[in-house]
Amino acid sequence: MSSRRTLVYAACQLGGWGLYGLANILLSLLFIATTSRGGEQFASRTAWTVLMCISGGLITHLARTWLPLREWVRLPMRRLALLIPFTCTALGLVQQVIGLVLAYPVLHIYGASDFSFSFLIMGGAFWAVVMLMWLLTYLTVHFVEHAREVERERWRQEVAAQTSELRFLKAQLQPHFLFNCLNSVRALIVEDPVRAQQAVTRLSTLLRHALSSHGPETVPLSQELQVVRDYLSLEGIRLEERLRVREDVAPETLGIAVPAMLVQTLVENAIKHGIAQTPEGGEVAVLARVRDGALQLEVANTPAPAGTPAPPHSSGEGLHNASERLRLLCGMGASLQLDQTSAALTTARVRIPLSP
């Protein structure tokens, strides 16, 4: 917890219980002034009130420390409806027991004749209501904080998605890529008209996907793989036999939702930093499996030879954005790791839990 939040919490605790104690002391003074009774016990009752405020502050502080109250804002309302009354009753009973001990044997405010079952019930109910007010105030603050955090996450997610889409659009519309594709298609028109038509269709599909800036944030893996195939097909025209592609995707993974353009970003990275930098070319392999309750995605490629200068505009921002977007869309259990420990293979590994 930050120091500012700690100070705010301490101020609320001291202020709340302090106001409660002050109000009770003022009421006692008012009672004495209007009835001319109870003055002989004013000091004892004031001490009891102060000690009860200290006790209430300690009990609520311990409850905040031991109970995961901050996580309760994420619980369903049905479970909260059970937890809150139970917790308030338990805290109120503890406070009531402390109050009775202070009032009877310690400060002697009450005698044995004042002890009754209804008195116990009313006292316990009163403190349960006090604890309920404290708990509702605490949870309300954290509900508001949680709502703000959710809103911030939503905005961050939208910004990350827009950044990724803009980056993808820029990557696909970069002059070198586009001109290389058009020149390759022009050559194919005479040599292989059928293949030229297929290339135009794939380029059209890819551009349409890039220009769909308001598409869904997650898509089925099968749809994402289709975009990847179009992209690899066009890169295959440029790189020819230097690019070899292997796809090993389990059928049960095709319907699983993945962040749009996630696999495409990894494949683009593999081409840019691996195959395109290698004179004899290499292989890009896309693998997908369901393992240990999660979708395991791998994009592996032949790495560039050691000492090869990094391609221009390679700041690593693409993988960082992909990792951030993966976390935002699929939760903290999702991960993206780049394994470059092998000299013969660079592998990007993605893990997406199938259940939150």
* pLDDT tens digits, one per residue of 285-333: 999 999 989 999 999 998 887 777 666 555 566 677 788 778 877 887 8
Which element (helix H / strand E) includes 348? strand 346-353
Give the start-end residues of each E strand in 165-321: 218-220, 243-249, 257-259, 282-291, 294-301
Per the prediction, the chain carries an average pLDDT of 82
- 183 vs 172, higher pLDDT: 183
Q: Is the pLDDT of residue 58 over 90?
A: yes
Q: What is the pLDDT of residues 201-224, one digit of tens each?
A: 888 877 776 666 455 678 899 988
What the block records as the tokens of 317 is 């921002």
- 225 vs 217, higher pLDDT: 225
DSSP structural state of residue 261: T
pLDDT number for residue 168:
59
Q: What is the pLDDT of residues 64-90, one digit of tens each?
A: 888 888 788 888 888 888 899 999 999
Q: Is the pLDDT of residue 59 over 70?
A: yes
Q: Is the pLDDT of residue 356 over 80?
A: no
Question: What is the length of the chain?
Answer: 356
pLDDT band, very low/low/confident/very high, at 2 (cuts 50, 70, 90)? low
Q: What is the pLDDT of residues 234-290, one digit of tens each?
A: 888 778 788 899 999 999 999 999 988 889 889 988 888 888 888 888 899 999 999
pLDDT number for residue 169:
52
pLDDT number for residue 255:
94
- 329 vs 38, higher pLDDT: 329
Q: pTM for this structure?
A: 0.51
- 164 vs 308, higher pLDDT: 308
Which element (helix H / strand E) includes 351? strand 346-353
Cα–Cα distance measured from residue 232 to residue 224, given in angstroms and rounded to the nearest whole number = 12
Q: What is the pLDDT of residues 110-138, one digit of tens each?
A: 777 777 778 788 888 999 999 999 999 98
pLDDT number for residue 342:
83
pLDDT number for residue 295:
95
pLDDT number for residue 68:
84
SS (H, E, C) the chain: CCHHHHHHHHHHHHHHHHHHHHHHHHHHHHHHHHHCCCHHHHHHHHHHHHHHHHHHHHHHHHHHHHCCHHHHHHCCHHHHHHHHHHHHHHHHHHHHHHHHHHHHHHCCCCCHHHCCHHHHHHHHHHHHHHHHHHHHHHHHHHHHHHHHHHHHHHHHHHHHHHHHHHHHHHHHCCHHHHHHHHHHHHHHHHHCHHHHHHHHHHHHHHHHHHHCCCCCCEEEHHHHHHHHHHHHHHHHHHHHHHEEEEEEECHHHCCCEEECCHHHHHHHHHHHHCHHHCCCCEEEEEEEEEECCEEEEEEEECCCCCCCCCCCCCCCHHHHHHHHHHHHHHCCCCEEEEECCCCCCEEEEEEEECCC
What the block records as the tokens of 300 is 């592996």
